[in-house]
Amino acid sequence: MAAEVEETLKRIQGHRGVTGTIVVNSEGIPIKTTLDNSTTVQYASLIHSLTAKARSTVRDIDPSNDLKFLRIRSRKNEIMCAPDKEFLLIVIQQDDQS
C-alpha cells in the first residue's frame, strides 16, 4: 500500500518543473512531503483553508456539486490541489519558461 502510494507520488514528482508534493490529512496536518518542514506546514495550512472555502463556494452555488480539482496559477509557479474527504494532495510546479 505504502509502496504504491510512494510510486504514484514519485511519478508525479518526476514531471518537469515539479518542485514539491504534499499529502495533507483532513485536519490540515501534513502526512507526506518532499519539501522542508516549514514550507510544508505553511502550504498545508494555507491550502487547506483555501480548499475548504472553494469547496463551500461550489456547493453553495449548486449543492449537488463538489470541488474536484483546484489550480492556482501564479507568475512564478502553479499550485494544484485535489481535495478529498479525508486527504488533500498538493503539487507545486515551477514555470520553467518564465
Residue ranges binding another protein (CB under 8 A): 1-2, 4-5, 8-9, 11-12, 15-18, 23, 25, 27-32, 41, 44-45, 68-69, 71, 73, 75, 78, 80, 82, 84, 86-87, 89, 91, 93, 95, 97-98
Give the whole-angstrom CA distance, residue 49 versus residue 62: 20
Q: How many CB atoms lie within 10 A of CB 97?
A: 5
Fill in the amino acid letter for 25. N
> Could you tell me the smallest distance in angstroms from the CB atom of residue 57 to another protein?
19
- Residue 64 vs 98, nearer CB to another protein: 98
Alpha-helical regions (H) of the chain: 2-13, 37-61
> Could you tell me the smallest distance in angstroms from the CB atom of residue 61 to another protein?
21
Give the whole-angstrom CA distance, residue 87 versus residue 67: 13
> Could you tell me the smallest distance in angstroms from the CB atom of residue 42 to another protein?
9
